Amino acid sequence: MLEGSNLSGQLSDWSINDLLQIMQVTKKTGSLDIEGQRRGRIHFVDGAVTGAELAGAKGSYRGTDRGAIADILYVLSTLDSGSFGVGPADGPSSEGFVVEDIMGEVAALRSLEGEVIDAGLFEAAGVRLIREVSEPVSLAPEDWQVLVTLVQPFTFDFLESRVGRGGAVRIFHTLHRLGVAEAIENDDDESAWLDQLADGVANGSEPTWLEPVTDDPAPRHAAPESEPESKPESEPVAASEPAPEPEPVAAAPEPEVVVEPAAQPAGAFGVSAPASTTLTDGVYDEIRRLRSKVSESK
């Protein structure tokens, strides 16, 4: 329905591309609202697209450059049901883009999506980079930005817990040699992410780069026999009153005897350390050796 400066209707009758063309041909200035499974808004000045918005569960995504606007229209163009309406302009008033340029970007994205689907990556349970390449790979700056987007900030301790100290040193040296890594200052906004990472490592499980030891699930550090609780001194009893007879005490079960290697100094068997401590190969080998001695002595 077209009444004066207002345009409204159903997406089942008009595609997003049709609406953009109408706004451009009529040189309208206003904001086109889309209501369906997705909600969005497209801003126009004299028929040119100046910006777009996409509402989601985590907030609104706004774009004013051609690529970002195309990303939003790429999502909105998948809608085939819902409603639309044009109201007063409330978006950017800067110089806009012609509809053909924006829709050209959208068409390119659809083509890329088809290739991703054909490669089986679109609905895969997960995607990871291959470990080996057959020949050198050269990356354009924009391709490098893609890889950087996939990698969150990390610390030396984080890598050491997964690939060992030697592996972490090699990785950091390679990054430094290539000149593609930089240190994050403590007051950087990303330091909060590193704090969360440290908490996760402290509360996490055994490092994944070591084989878990499953032969003896019992704790390796035997607690010393508990001293009998000292009872408070009894209050003085008058001489005329006989002292009360002690109540019979049930015999406590014999404590489990833990055999420790006699040759080891005290405190060497069973390493007690904070959860955030990273154990190296040598420490784990020593623990396994001590376990085997205990098994032989039993």
* Token duo for residue 13: 């009758």
pLDDT at 151 (0 to 100): 85
Q: What are phi and psi of 160, to 5 degrees?
A: -60, -35
pLDDT at 35 (0 to 100): 93
What is the DSSP-derived secondary structure letter of residue 10? E
State the Cα–Cα distance between residues 256 and 21, nearest whole angstrom.
84
Q: For residue 240, what is the enclosing H or E element?
A: none
Q: What are phi and psi of 40, to 5 degrees?
A: -150, 175
Q: Which residues contact 228 (CB under 8 A, 6 or more apart)?
A: none
Contact 42, 32 (CB under 8 A): yes
Strand partners, 35: 39, 83
pLDDT at 269 (0 to 100): 42
pLDDT at 123 (0 to 100): 85
Sequence spans of domains, the chain: 2-115, 141-201
pLDDT at 282 (0 to 100): 57
What is the DSSP-derived secondary structure letter of residue 77? T
* Token duo for residue 225: 């026999």
What is the DSSP-derived secondary structure letter of residue 206? S
CA atoms within 13 A on the CB side of 11: 20
Q: What is the pLDDT along the chain (298 residues), one digit of tens a residue?
A: 443 356 889 999 999 999 999 999 999 999 999 999 889 999 999 999 999 999 877 778 899 999 999 999 999 998 989 999 999 999 998 889 999 999 999 999 999 999 999 989 888 888 888 888 899 989 999 898 888 888 888 898 988 899 888 888 889 999 899 888 888 876 555 445 445 554 554 454 444 434 444 444 444 444 444 444 544 444 444 444 555 555 554 555 554 544 444 444 444 444 444 444 444 555 556 666 666 655 565 5
pLDDT at 53 (0 to 100): 94
pLDDT at 108 (0 to 100): 92
For the whole model, what pTM was predicted?
0.54
pLDDT at 167 (0 to 100): 87
pLDDT at 86 (0 to 100): 93
State the Cα–Cα distance between residues 142 and 263, nearest whole angstrom.
62
